[in-house]
């Protein structure tokens, strides 16, 4: 029985776009309800799919819910979708964020029709990246994501929005250009675009050194993740993007980088990955420490969380290039965990900004009295971010560090891990300091009339909290499937 | 018999009849609205005859002067399609020509006839004559506005065009002299029996490439492009940028493949020249486009850059032994999607400039508010030109670059993809101007129904090709069948 | 030894003529002279064609026919060219390329 679930998940938002587009002059209310219902439908199907996911041992190393139709026969490209343990958490993460980002934008007034079209297109394209098993299809979705993000930042953003949008566009395009060259070279060497086939074969080539191929492919992912020193687009994009775009950007878009590294670079070229793991781990550790240090210096709430992302995505990179099964699983879980936690943090910053019209730490103080609910949720997010046990943040970081500390794939992994762990300490520092400044300082008179979260805002933020806590308390719900996904990859590395 | 072979040029003959009919009708009819309808009918009749010839794979007529093959027929259809779209887009623009509307349509159709003969010509003499038929018509069309800028553009186009055709002719003369024939297949026969060519013959080849380099706007023969694009009437700019360029690429593909495609030492010779020219062409086009303030000039440089990407395909074709058909189909596919995209963009520009009477990018500020549909369509085409999904541009680039990597031209593909990034700067500058910033006036910008129809066709095609290119790839694969190979 | 005129001499003559024409096109500023230089280039080609026709394919007339085509086309080209020059001359009272500078070269 084939229900084409993946196609439905990816294309429901697109159907939503068409519905919104063909409606003649729909009201803001109609548009957001349509957007919500299609995002919700996509989310529910992804949950159903997660439920139906085959967790038996025989399913390890196989794609599930596969769909394969010839697409461009001339270059052997297929419309080929499928998920395994590695991608399914990310699919659910994205559909979840899709729903929440519509809720977060509930009060949008400026050009709502176009806004929700772009949000839904963004959701579709990111889902497409996680589900594609054909390199050309993967690349198509990868590039597609650029356009909605560009418009979301440049039209609905704030501050230096055009600069930020352009910077985002150019950074991503540079990366994806090299990726295209890499993908075409891969095709030349192997004569297939099929990711499942590519993961199994050992690639040799006299045409192009495999190291070059590896770096052609990884640049795009490194920019997206982002890896120090290619991260400078991220703070600008985050700071100037509208809240929902920030939520999706931090929540799901950055994960495309990590996912791509595991799926393409590590799976296809494991030997090269081992060879260059020390370099990547060094960059990861620099990212963690540098990101954390810079975060300490930020006074803009959004910028602060953006830099904390740089630091936390460093864990992901470390986990990936520690190259053992536990660390890879940790990295995958950390992607999910960072997705929900940072998504929530950005949503909260958005709320605080909506109420107080400032994001400047120097102007915020003692808000706990005016907005008790926001304080509680924000604090949970902050604590999850610094890895408090009982939240998904703790589990993810713990597994990542445990895995990379134990890794024997490359020398000196223990030292890298120990340095990276200091990032957690600094995170605790800036998170608590930030919460204290914003909420627990001396109450300011100018914020006396400020309201707390309303019903819609509570729904969106509480659902984040529910996910953070649920996975934090019962991580096996995700780690089981993730292990199924990373086990074959770890086997390829031979560790 | 000669008279029997007339059926092979029925498309051109019918188009010629309609062109003459239009000139005559123009004398007697006061309602000029009938003229574009006649030209569209003429193009459709010609297309009908062209489709009728489809499947007649690889015959030559008139003593090896022209060939009837699917390659040529496909390009005839492409030229006719762009003729129809340009005629529809000129609907309002022709009011600027006052009493010369009939001549405008007639000369436009004459140039289309020239291009149609050009893509099926298999003899140096026919190639030259049909090339000049289209060029001379275009010289006249470029200066059709008769204002200072337009005449100046026409003169520059004429002088540089004439120099290029003199160079081309000299190349043809040398080739003729050393191979003893002007037929492309006969030249190929000469090469098949020789193991090396005299330097003079290679000079001839280089001169031929140079002469067509002018037509396809390759470096260093691209100088005319921005000036002519800016000065010419906008529909003619659109026509130049697609039909004329597509025909140029078609004929250079045909000459290189048929006459100079064998043996291996020969095609490797020109492949490397073209590879270097391709790298230069796209870089020059993209980098110069960055500083443009006039949208027609911007598209001029953009079309130079796009020619560079196409030349990547030509170079790959030369690298391949036995003339890899997939690469040729990639070139055809790129031309197909580029034609639709660029025409669409120009139709939007024509519609906008009809209203605001300016080609300055700065005057496009806030166009998203004044006409969301036109601005949206133009955005789609710019996205396609940048090579982003979900548009034809991306698939075309992947297709053509894939062929190039396949032939070991990775260095060239890397240069090309870096160039794509550079191109995003100026394409998205236009997008940014249209959607951000406040419009100078609140007047809505609207358009007439022929323009809307033409625009809708281009939009839909660009998206369909971008999402489900299978059928179109199949079509271009059928179109690689070429007489003589 | 008697001096005789052969194919080489024609080719060299036409090459020289072609170069003269080309240099003229590049350096001349007067449009009329410029068009004359174009004609010199085309005539150089005609000489090449006819010489080849005479020495390489004496039984066929391909080259000579080609040359006739070139002459006809060149005449058409010049007709359009002069028409454009007229139209410019009406508005500017000048045939000097230096003065045609609305469009950047």
Q: Measured between beta carbons, which residues in chain B are less than 8 angstroms from residue A22?
A: none
pLDDT digits over A213-265, tens only?
Answer: 888 888 889 998 888 888 888 888 888 888 888 889 888 889 999 999 888 88
Residues in contact with C35: Cβ distance below 8 Å, sequence separation at least 6, in sequence order: B159, C78, C81, C82, C85
Residues 6+ apart with CB under 8 A from B296: B229, B230, B234, B237, B349, B359
Residue B484: which residues within 8 A CB-CB, separation 6 or more? Answer: B58, B60, B67, B122, B184, B185, B188, B258
Does a structural domain hold residue C57? yes
Residue C103 belongs to a domain = no
Query: Which candidate from C56, C70, C84 shows the least CB-CB separation from B169?
Result: C70
Would you say residue C98 lies in a domain? no
Closest CB from B146, B169, B227 relative to C105 = B227
Asked if the structure places residue A425 within a domain, the reply is: yes
Bridge partners, B360 (sequence order): B294
C19, C34, C63, C80: best mutation site toward chain B, by most B Cβ within 10 Å?
A: C80
Confidence at residue B300, expressed as pLDDT on a 0 to 100 scale: 92
Q: Where are the alpha helices (DSSP H) in B255-359?
A: 264-289, 295-319, 325-356
Say which of A74, A187, A207 has its CB closest to residue B329: A74
Instruction: Please give, rounded to a whole number of angstroms, the shortest distance from the CA of A240 to a CA of chain B.
Output: 15
pLDDT classification of A162: cutoffs 50, 70, 90: confident
CB atoms within 10 A of CB C45: 28
In a domain, A475, yes or no: yes
Distance from C-alpha of A239 to C-alpha of A325, rounded to nearest angstrom: 35
> Looking at this predicted complex, what is its ipTM?
0.93
Contact C44, B170 (CB under 8 A): yes
CA angle in degrees (0–180, nearest 5) for A378-A384-A388: 130
Would you say residue B108 has pLDDT above 90? yes
Q: Is the predicted pLDDT of residue A154 greater than 70, yes or no?
A: yes
The pLDDT value recorded for residue C31 is: 87
- Residue C27 resides in a domain: yes
Work out whether the CA dihedral C25, C30, C36, C38 comes out positive or negative. Answer: positive
Neighbours of C96 (CB within 10 A): 11
Domain count, chain A: 1
pLDDT, residue C102, reads 64
Touch test A–C: 3 Cβ pairs or more under 8 Å: no
Indicate whether C19 belongs to any domain: yes
User: How would residue A445 be classed by pLDDT, with cut points 50, 70 and 90?
Assistant: confident
Contacts of C3 (CB under 8 A, 6+ apart): none
Contact B421 A170 (CB under 8 A): yes
CATH code assigned at C21: 1.10.287.3510
Q: Residue C32 has which token pair?
A: 């009329």
**CA–CA distances in Å: residue B7 to residues B3, B16, B67, B140:** 8, 14, 12, 30
Question: CA gyration radius for chain C?
Answer: 18
Inter-chain CB proximity B128 and C73 less than 8 Å: yes
Whether B484 is in a domain gets the answer: no
Model confidence at B81: pLDDT above 90:
yes
Instruction: Please give the mean pLDDT across all residues of chain A.
Output: 86
**pLDDT of A251:** 86
pLDDT at position B75 over 90: yes
What mean pLDDT is predicted for residues B48-70?
85
Distance (Å) from the alpha carbon of C24 to chain B's nearest alpha carbon:
11
Q: At CB < 8 Å, which residues of chain A contact B? A: 70-75, 136, 139-141, 143-144, 146-147, 150-151, 154-155, 162, 165-166, 169-170, 173-174, 177-178, 180-181, 184-185, 187-188, 207-208
In this structure, is residue C102 part of a structural domain? no
Mean pLDDT of A154-171: 87
Distance from CA of A162 to the nearest CA of B (A): 8
CA distance B327 to A218: 28
**What would the two tokens of residue C60 be?**
């066929």
Q: Is residue C38, in this structure, part of any structural domain at all?
A: yes
**Residue A367 clears pLDDT 90, i.e. is over it:** no
Cβ contacts of B468 on chain A, cutoff 8 Å: 71
Percent of chain A residues past pLDDT 70, beyond the cut: 99
A213 occurs within a structural domain: no
Interchain proximity B162–C31, CB inside 8 Å: no
Is C99 domain-assigned?
no
Domain extent, residue A304, equals 270-495
> Per the domain annotation, does A441 fall within a domain?
yes
Banded model confidence at residue A446, pLDDT cuts 50, 70, 90 = confident
Cα separation, B316 vs B335, whole angstroms: 16
Q: CB of B340 within 8 Å of any CB in chain A?
A: no
Domain membership of residue A279 (yes or no) is yes
What's the pLDDT band for A2 if we cut at 50, 70, 90?
low
pLDDT one-digit tens code per residue, B205-260: 899 999 999 888 888 888 889 989 998 999 999 999 999 999 999 999 999 888 88
Question: What's the pTM value of the predicted model, to 2 decimals?
Answer: 0.90
User: C9 vs chain B: nearest CA distance in angstroms?
Assistant: 14
The values of phi and psi at residue A406, to 5°, are -85, -10
Q: Tens digit of pLDDT for each residue in A450-471?
A: 777 788 888 888 888 998 988 8
Whether the CB-CB separation of B481 and B58 falls below 8 Å is answered with yes
Any chain A CB within 8 A of the CB of B390?
yes
pLDDT the model gives residue B310: 93
Helix (H) or strand (E) holding B113: helix B101-120
CA B86 to each of CA B240, B242, B305: distance values in angstroms, whole numbers, following the listed order: 10, 10, 22
Question: B166 and C76 in contact by Cβ < 8 A?
Answer: no
Q: How many CB atoms lie within 10 A of CB A2?
A: 7
Split into its structural domains, chain B has a count of 1
Q: What is the pLDDT of residue B109?
A: 94
Residue pLDDT, tens place only, C52-72? 998 888 888 888 999 999 999
Q: Is residue A259 part of a domain?
A: no
Nearest to C35 by CA among C45, C46, C20, C25: C25
How near does any CA of chain C get to the CA of B336, in Å?
30
- Shortest distance between the Cα of C1 and any Cα of chain B, in A, equals 28
Range of the domain at B31: 2-478
How does DSSP assign A11-76, residue by residue?
HHHHHHHHHHHHSSS--HHHHHHHHHHHHHHHHHHHHHHHHH---SGGGTT--EEEEEEEEEGGGT
pLDDT digits (tens, 9 = 90+) for B149-170: 888 889 889 999 999 999 999 9
Of A427, A443, A239, which Cα lies nearest the Cα of A338? Answer: A427
Which residue on chain C is closest to B177 by alpha carbon? C52
Touching subunits of A (3+ CB pairs, under 8 Å) are B
Asked if A178 and B468 come within 8 Å (Cβ–Cβ), the reply is: no
Which residue is it, tokens 């509307």?
A: B101
């Amino acid at each position: 029985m084939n229900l084409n679930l993946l196609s439905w998940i990816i294309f429901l938002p697109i159907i939503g776009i068409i519905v919104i587009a063909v409606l003649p002059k729909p009201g803001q209310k109609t548009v957001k309800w349509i957007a919500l219902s299609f995002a919700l439908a996509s989310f529910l199907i992804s949950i159903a799919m997660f439920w139906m996911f085959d967790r038996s041992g025989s399913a390890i190393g196989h794609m599930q819910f596969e769909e394969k139709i010839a697409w461009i026969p001339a270059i052997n490209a297929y419309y080929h979708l499928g998920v395994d343990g590695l991608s399914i958490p990310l699919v659910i993460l994205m559909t979840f964020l899709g729903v929440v980002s519509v809720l977060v934008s509930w009060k949008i007034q400026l050009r709502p029709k176009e806004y929700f079209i772009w949000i839904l297109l963004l959701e579709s394209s990111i889902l497409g990246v996680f589900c594609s098993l054909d390199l050309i299809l993967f690349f198509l979705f990868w590039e597609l994501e650029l356009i909605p993000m560009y418009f979301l930042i440049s039209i609905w953003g704030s501050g230096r929005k055009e600069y930020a949008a352009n910077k985002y566009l150019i950074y991503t395009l540079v990366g994806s250009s090299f990726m295209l060259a890499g993908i075409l070279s891969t095709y030349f060497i192997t004569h297939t675009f099929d990711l499942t086939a590519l993961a199994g074969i050992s690639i040799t080539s006299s045409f192009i050194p495999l190291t070059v191929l590896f770096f052609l492919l990884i640049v795009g992912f490194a920019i997206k993740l982002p890896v120090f020193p290619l991260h400078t687009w991220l703070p600008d994009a985050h700071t100037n993007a509208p809240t929902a775009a920030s939520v999706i950007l931090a929540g799901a878009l950055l994960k495309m980088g990590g996912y791509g590294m595991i799926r393409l670079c590590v799976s296809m070229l494991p030997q090269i990955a081992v060879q260059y793991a020390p370099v990547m781990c060094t960059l990861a550790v620099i990212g963690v420490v540098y990101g954390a240090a810079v975060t300490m210096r930020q006074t803009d709430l959004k910028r602060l969380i953006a830099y904390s992302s740089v630091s936390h995505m460093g864990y992901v990179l470390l986990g990936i290039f520690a190259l053992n099964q536990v660390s890879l699983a940790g990295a995958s879980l950390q992607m999910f965990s960072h997705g929900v936690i940072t998504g929530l943090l950005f949503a909260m910053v958005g709320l605080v900004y909506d109420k107080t019209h400032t994001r400047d730490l120097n102007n915020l103080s003692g808000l706990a009295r005016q907005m008790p609910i926001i304080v509680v949720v924000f604090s949970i997010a902050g604590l999850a971010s610094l890895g408090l046990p009982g939240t998904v943040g703790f589990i993810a970081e713990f597994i990542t560090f445990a895995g990379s500390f134990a890794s024997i794939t490359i020398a000196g992994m223990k030292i890298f891990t120990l340095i990276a762990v200091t990032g957690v300490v600094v995170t605790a520092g800036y998170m608590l300091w930030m919460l204290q400044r914003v909420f627990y300082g001396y109450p300011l008179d100018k914020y006396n009339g400020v309201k707390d979260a309303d019903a819609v805002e509570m729904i969106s933020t509480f659902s984040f909290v529910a996910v953070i806590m649920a996975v934090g308390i019962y991580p096996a719900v995700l780690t089981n499937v993730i292990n199924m996904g990373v086990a074959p990859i770890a086997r390829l590395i031979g560790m | 018999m000669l008279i029997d072979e007339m059926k092979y040029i029925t498309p051109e003959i019918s188009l010629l009849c309609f062109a003459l009919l239009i000139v005559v009708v123009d004398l007697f009819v006061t309602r000029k609205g009938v003229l574009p309808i006649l030209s569209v009918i003429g193009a459709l009749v010609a297309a009908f005859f062209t489709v009728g010839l489809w499947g007649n794979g690889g015959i030559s007529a008139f003593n090896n002067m022209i060939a009837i093959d699917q390659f040529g027929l496909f390009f005839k259809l492409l030229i006719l399609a762009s003729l129809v779209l340009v005629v529809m887009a000129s609907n309002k623009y022709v009011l600027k020509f006052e009493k010369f509307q009939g001549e405008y349509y007639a000369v436009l159709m004459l140039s289309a006839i020239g291009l149609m003969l050009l893509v099926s010509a298999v003899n140096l003499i026919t190639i030259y004559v049909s090339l000049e038929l289209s060029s001379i018509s275009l010289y006249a069309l470029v200066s059709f506005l008769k204002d200072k800028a337009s005449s100046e553009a026409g003169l520059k186009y004429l002088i540089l065009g004439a120099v290029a055709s003199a160079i081309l002719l000299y190349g043809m003369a040398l080739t003729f002299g050393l191979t003893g024939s002007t037929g492309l297949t006969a030249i190929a026969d000469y090469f098949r029996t020789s193991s090396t060519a005299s330097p003079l013959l290679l000079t001839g080849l280089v001169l031929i490439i140079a002469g067509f380099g002018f037509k396809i706007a390759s470096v260093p023969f691209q100088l005319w492009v921005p000036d002519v694009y800016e000065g010419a009437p906008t529909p003619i700019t659109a026509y130049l940028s697609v039909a004329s360029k597509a025909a140029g690429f078609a004929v250079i593909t045909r000459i290189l493949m048929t006459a100079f495609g064998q043996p291996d030492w020969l095609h490797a010779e020109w492949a490397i020249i073209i590879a270097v020219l391709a790298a230069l062409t796209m870089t020059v086009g993209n980098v110069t486009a960055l500083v443009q303030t006039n949208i027609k000039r911007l598209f001029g440089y953009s079309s130079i850059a796009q020619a560079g990407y196409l030349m990547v395909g030509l170079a790959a074709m030369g690298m391949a032994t036995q003339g890899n058909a997939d690469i040729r189909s990639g070139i055809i596919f790129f031309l197909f999607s580029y034609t639709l995209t660029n025409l669409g963009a120009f139709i939007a520009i024509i519609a906008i400039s009809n209203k605001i009477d300016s080609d300055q990018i700065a005057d496009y500020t806030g166009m998203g508010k004044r006409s969301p549909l036109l601005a949206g369509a133009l955005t789609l085409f710019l996205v396609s030109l940048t090579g982003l999904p979900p548009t034809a541009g991306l698939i075309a680039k992947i297709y053509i670059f894939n062929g190039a990597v396949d032939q070991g031209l990775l260095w060239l593909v890397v240069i090309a993809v870096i160039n794509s990034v550079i191109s995003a700067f100026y394409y998205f500058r236009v997008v940014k101007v249209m959607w951000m910033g406040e419009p100078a006036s609140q007047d809505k910008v609207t358009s007439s129904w022929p323009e809307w129809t033409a625009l809708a066709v281009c939009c839909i095609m660009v998206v369909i090709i971008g999402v489900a290119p299978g059928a179109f790839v199949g079509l271009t694969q059928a179109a690689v069948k070429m007489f003589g190979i | 030894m008697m001096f005789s005129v052969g194919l080489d001499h024609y080719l060299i003559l036409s090459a020289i003529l072609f170069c003269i024409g080309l240099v003229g096109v590049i350096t001349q500023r007067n449009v009329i002279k410029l068009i004359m230089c174009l004609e010199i280039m085309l005539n150089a080609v005609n000489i090449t064609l006819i010489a080849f026709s005479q020495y390489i394919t004496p039984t066929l007339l391909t080259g000579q026919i080609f040359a006739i085509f070139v002459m006809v086309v060149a005449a058409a080209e010049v007709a359009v060219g002069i028409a454009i020059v007229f139209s410019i001359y009406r508005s500017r009272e000048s045939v000097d390329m230096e003065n045609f500078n609305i469009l950047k070269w």
